[in-house]
Amino acid sequence: MFSERLWLDRPSGARLAYHHQPSTTEPRGIVLICHGLAEHSRRYQAFAVALAARGYHVYAHDHRGHGETTAPDAALGLFARQDGVAKVISDVMAMRDLALERHPALPVTLFGHSMGGLIALNVATAHPQSFNALTIWNSNFNPGLAGRFAQGVLYLEQMLKGSDVPSLILPKATFAAWGRAIPGHRTAFDWLSHDPKEVDAYIADPLCGFDASVSMWRDIFRLTFAGADPERLARLPQRLPVYLVGGGQDPATNKGREIRWLGQRMLDVGMTDVETTVYETMRHETLNEIGREKPIADFLGWLANLGP
């Protein structure tokens, strides 16, 4: 089981809530988990247990503005009043340093789901020698003109009502639109998974499904457009192992097409070890989907092939 909630105090005044799942066999490496928007780290417990059984120490923290993490400038739904992207990236690096201090010399794999994937890739390009492998699941780095339009809308919202309040437009253009995209949907969150138990658990969780602030949405788009910039991707080691995962029925990634787009983008800048897998019957939360055993087993196999 995940550890009880632990705390990492940051110079910024933030208290990062995190969980540690220790390896239950001979340690092979460390996996750092970056969760998605409007959720939290405890939702990755089952995944962490599977990783620990194969020799991986797992660390998962709540990003600023999420879960049980607290900060004087980061209420729920807000990274920070200023420099939110930089602070979120710094927090991930602090978790990396904590994990390596406790488990010296083990290779570190950085995992990110959805918004967490946006964060993970930006962390990796900002600190290109700090990770031994990178895996991004269900993230959209290619919103195109619609993304640029959304940035303009957010700018207007900030001008009219400030940045610390929830955006009125973006939830309708994202979560609500994705919900409507599922034929015969039972709930507004069926786009997450075919598994009704997982969908209902998300809806019932008070730390899930909240509306992000204008500021957080602006930071998310900064992460989106910066992350896949070719000049930034070129900072990554050419031979860095990268594992990309998507769902063929995920409206948030254009049915997995944007995962494939990211893989090609990486290959185009000269990266040589990029593997992309789209599970055609799955929606947004691969780890909470019916049949999740298959992608978890595939990922464990990829990790094992990285070597000791």
Q: What is the pLDDT of residues 169-178, one digit of tens each?
A: 999 999 999 9
Q: Is residue 254 in some structural domain?
A: yes
The whole-angstrom separation of Cα 174 and Cα 171 is: 5
Q: What is the pLDDT of residues 5-61, one digit of tens each?
A: 999 999 989 999 999 999 999 999 999 999 999 999 999 999 999 999 999 999 999
Q: What is the CATH number of the domain that holds 136?
A: 3.40.50.1820
* pLDDT, mean of residues 144-150: 89
The whole-angstrom separation of Cα 251 and Cα 181 is: 7
Strand 274-279's sheet: what is its strand order?
A: 6-9, 15-21, 56-61, 29-34, 108-113, 133-137, 242-247, 274-279
Q: Is residue 1 in some structural domain?
A: no
Q: Is residue 153 in some structural domain?
A: yes
With contact defined as beta carbons under 8 Å apart, do 223 and 85 qualify? yes
Tokens matching residue 35: 């969760």
Q: What is the pLDDT of residues 213-254, one digit of tens each?
A: 999 999 999 999 999 999 999 999 999 999 999 999 999 999
* pLDDT, mean of residues 92-109: 97
3-state secondary structure at position 131: coil
Find the domain containing 194 and state its range: 6-304
Q: What predicted TM-score, i.e. pTM, was given to this entire model?
A: 0.97
Q: How many domains does the chain have?
A: 1
Q: Is residue 150 in some structural domain?
A: yes
